Amino acid sequence: MNSCPFCTLPPERIVAEDGPCVAIRDLYPVSEGHTLIIPRRHVASFREMTPEEWAATQRLARTVAEALERDDPSVQAYNIGINDGRQAGQTIPHAHIHVIPRRTGDVRRPRGGVRGVIPGKADYPG
């Protein structure tokens, strides 16, 4: 798919790779170091990824996190997520996983994390 930006990545954008997957920095980062993990093979959904691709994404997430922490000691935590489908906010129809580094004080109330994608759902008892 020549029109897919993730299928035609220039080599200099790749910050890490593991077999069937690569990692690149997000062009519109939520925080400094925001990284995308992408299967090389064009698949629109995580549901189409092979077990080998899934395993590579998990290894790359760890590799990326270790490098971010080594290079920036202020990184203390992560949000890791997938927007799968237009209704979930996916804007590029090629499966990819977001690794978003978090730092103390980067938001006023981080409680609830990814639940915040739907307004009012991040705050819950427990």
- Catalytic site positions: 96
| Residue 90 DSSP SS3 | coil
The tokens for 29 are 């980062």
From the list 104, 122, 1, 19, the residue with the least C-alpha distance to 63 is 19
Round to the nearest angstrom and report the end-to-end CA distance of the chain: 45
d(CA 77, CA 74): 9
Here the contacts of 113-121 (C-beta below 8 Å, separation 24 or greater) are 113/79, 114/79, 114/81, 117/89
Report in angstroms the alpha-carbon separations of 19 from 34, 54, 56. Answer: 21, 11, 7
